Amino acid sequence: MIRTVPFALATALASSAHAAISLDACNGPATTTLAAAPHALEARAVWLNRALAKWPGSPSDGKFKLHHSPTAAIEAIVGRKVKGAAGALDLESTNAVSKVAAERFQYLAAGPVLKLADKDLTRLPALHREQLVLTREAPDGTVLAATRLQAAGALDDLYAAAEQVPDLGATPARKRTGFKLWAPTAQQAAVCVFDSGSSRAGAVHQLAMDAATGVWSAQVPADLSGRYYTYAVDVVSEQAGLVRNLVTDPYSVSLSTDSQRSYIADLDAARLKPVGWDKERAPQTVKSPVDMAVYELHVRDFSRDDETVPPAKRGKYTAFGESDSNGMRHLKALAQAGMTDIHLLPVYDIASIPEKNCARPQPTGAPDGDTQQALIRKTAHTDCYNWGYDPWHYNAPEGSYASDPADGARRIVEFREMVMHLHRAGLRVGLDVVYNHTFVAGQDGKSVLDRVVPGYYHRLNAKGGIERSTCCDNTATENRMMGKLMIDSAVLWAKHYKIDSFRFDLMGHQPRAAMERLQGAVDKATGRSVQLLGEGWNFGEVANGARFVQASQLSLNGSGIGTFSDRARDAVRGGGAGDSGEALVSRQGWINGLVYDPNAKAGARPATELLRAADMVRIGLAGTLRSYPLATFEGSTRKLEDIDYGGQPAGYASEPGETVNYVENHDNQTLYDNNALKLPLETGSADRARVQVLGLAITAFSQGIAYYHAGSDILRSKSLDRNSFNSGDWFNRLDWTYQTNHFGTGLPPADDNAKDWPLFKPVLANAALRAQPADIAFARDAFRDLLAIRASTTLLRMRTAEDVAQRLRFFNTGPRQEPTVVAATIDGKGYAGARFGSLTYLINADKVAHVVTDAGLRGRQLRLHPVHTAAGAGDKRAATAGYDSVNGTFSIPPRTAVVFVED
């Protein structure tokens, strides 16, 4: 709700003598407009620091003035004189720009740099709490051009000390509670305190601003733990003018239902800790990042449909405490086989999931029908489901997963209990975090950062609008306090929730320097190594280092931070993430028929495509390491960094721990759905399961971190949905009874898929493409064998690039290779944790058996890996693979991955 007050009152409120924020204001609307801005201006000028501003694209003639108004009353219309300003400062052109400012704002177009007079510099902190408009004027004072200014450069310079403030937020203690809010552009601020999440405010406390940091604070002489609060902040908003915002705390550690109020809590308080929490430790299964085998899981997906979980706990944190449920039995079996980590899709406070009375549609329809998606779409914004890439409060657990979202303590305790239950199942816990954008910005009711410091926290374009290349409102972690918020948030999760690793969404939009500071901070706060991995994609307004050195694939080498590799992923699956139409079928991959088993739409493909794909698979198996030398299909041996991948080096990592290998995650079609489109239609269901296992084997055998999407081991289908982020429970189901993979449960939602419905309909209607229980069981068991093989030896988890270069050797390479077989041997002599003198793996993607020979392995005493020969081995076909020691020849059954070892 928004309320507007008369201009006269607004002027009084904005004066130095205005009244304190009243208790009644705490119970008022979310926004009160104290004075509306007369007209909107773009923000084309940019503060470079406290003294300098640049106006890209502006002529340099005329007189430049900085006008200010505490009531946002400025009218600066071209051809007229400025009206409504309380005063103005003159600026002069200069060529003197510091190296720091020049580098930070290197992306700005040419334009005059303007300097404030030295005598006026002391006025700037106060003026930043007002409306500021920069004009270029004619000699008679008429406006030639006018613009607002992007303020981050000035605020970062003026309030650099704020970066060192350790206790932003609410900090309750014995007989006192402190509140600190960074709001350097606020004219005044107060904290409103509530006894509950729904009661009226019981008290209001005025905050005082520290001139050095821009932090507003108060000390209340009482321990307010368990109560709720909001801030009342008077700020000039570029959209609305002078407003009073009632807003939650950006540093909230918990919230009331639907995030309406922040919760006051000391995360070290005994009442918020499950029994044994202080002594709780993660399983000691990861000594090096490359030891990680990660299962990416959504909290609601995990238990929502599990009938062995009590109904009240389904889809909740508490479901992980049901140790005998089908889902927990599945996770424990994975851990016993060698899975080390669960990575939870976002579990911070999510803006797009109602925490009470969310809709639960119950679709029905034909395998290729559109009624299911039609029902889902009707409630897409009010149902209980979303992946969660819609951040609202970064530091608070999501309330829809708690048993009682109205109780700010429950989500804290239950989250910690979930971590403990996963630890006791043998699994470490990682979080998917999304610091690259917020759900909304500006004066929207679900905006927090922009309603506290308007225009600061987001990355702005040349007109002052928010960049949205990440889908939503991009944050600017290159700005001091947004970078601090990201780092402080990660420290909170690692320290107070014992999180072992983080997966950063669109990490390439963050500066490498910020990520390295974050790494140091979380490691120092926890006294252990917290692994960082993320999406290092290079795109948008930051692409190719336009604004800073990015935390992207090609820019992170040597940092120890892992990025997802698309090199082998695309070669294995076929095509690319952006494919649509017939390309989804025709662009086959190495495991699903490229050249050797073409589908009806593939057409004639040159043999070099298969050869190139096989080499790209080898590149992934070698950890995508820059320095690794590969004998290519073209007959030359080249370092991976010298092999082309779409205009980029195929090898980009300096060490194995900087590579995350995967063939499926939450994005795009699942591997099963991808193969349903690309494998020839006559491929039987048992063979479809085998092809799935081949993809998982490539990840298991690759040097680096292994990453798997939950359900990939049980042939998970999303009925061909390419983007199930908001597709409801229906298209995101998991079946821990292993009876169905949910293929053919309706056309996927129209928003992202309708253009491909004509292609999808016959595929979904084809009953022969549905996985049978026997197929699911095979994939499940064969995958666990792959985990066990990987866990059995460090040869599939080598620590350094030098180790990989010295010990990993591919054979069956070059121009005369059999391109459907990838084979390698790894020397284990003297290598810590190897357990074997050597290990040799072979992956045959073809639908027929093949024989390959390696002269270097003649006369060796190789045997099948013990996992293959065990009575309960998941893939009986692997045990039929043969090795002829005299000739160094291997016979590999069709669509089989097999490992040989020697003592």
Summarize pLDDT for 744-789 with one digit per residue, the tens: 999 999 999 999 999 999 999 999 999 999 999 999 999 999 999 9
- The Cβ of residue 687 has, within 10 Å, a number of other Cβ atoms equal to 17
pLDDT of 164-223, one tens digit each?
A: 999 999 999 999 999 999 999 999 999 999 999 999 999 999 999 999 999 999 999 999
Give the separation between CA 479 and CA 411, rounded to whole angstroms: 31
Q: Using DSSP, state whether 706 is helix, strand or coil.
A: strand
Answer yes or no: is pLDDT of 738 > 60.
yes
pLDDT confidence band for 19 (50 / 70 / 90): confident
pLDDT confidence band for 9 (50 / 70 / 90): very low
Non-local CB neighbours of 647 within 8 Å, separated by 6+ positions: none
102 within 8 A of 76, measured Cβ to Cβ: no
Tokens of 317: 């944190």
Position 238 scores a pLDDT of 84
Tokens of 330: 């599945």
- Give mean pLDDT, residues 865-876: 97
Give the separation between CA 294 and CA 334, rounded to whole angstroms: 10
Q: Identify the CA nearest to 416 among candidates 496, 302, 470, 487.
A: 496
Tokens of 238: 């570029």
Give the separation between CA 847 and CA 817, rounded to whole angstroms: 17
**Helix count and strand count (H, E) for the chain:** 22, 43
pLDDT of 363-412, one tens digit each?
A: 999 999 999 999 999 999 999 999 999 999 999 999 999 999 999 999 99
Q: In the beta sheet, which residues pair with residue 348?
A: 397
Among the residue ranges 8-22, 259-273, 602-616, 660-674, the one predicted with the least confidence is 8-22
pTM as predicted = 0.96
18 within 8 A of 190, measured Cβ to Cβ: no
Tokens of 171: 């900090």
What is the helix (H) or strand (E) element at residue 671, kind and residue range? Answer: helix 671-678
Look over the chain and give the mean of its residue pLDDT values, rounded to a whole number. 96
Residue whose tokens read 């048993």: 403
Q: Which of 156, 258, 291, 535 is catalytic?
A: 535
Tokens of 850: 């093949």
Residue whose tokens read 């050597």: 838
Q: Is 535 a catalytic residue?
A: yes
Q: Which of 234, 450, 500, 505 is catalytic?
A: 505
Q: Identify the CA nearest to 408 among candidates 232, 233, 198, 201.
A: 198
pLDDT confidence band for 39 (50 / 70 / 90): confident
Q: Identify the CA nearest to 300 among candidates 352, 373, 340.
A: 352
Position 239 scores a pLDDT of 81
Tokens of 804: 């990989």
Name the amino acid, one letter, at 262: S
Position 18 scores a pLDDT of 57
pLDDT confidence band for 330 (50 / 70 / 90): very high
pLDDT confidence band for 11 (50 / 70 / 90): very low
Sign, CA dihedral 689-611-660-829, equals positive
Residue whose tokens read 């007079």: 117
pLDDT of 540-573, one tens digit each?
A: 999 999 999 999 999 999 999 999 999 999 999 9
- Give mean pLDDT, residues 285-304: 98
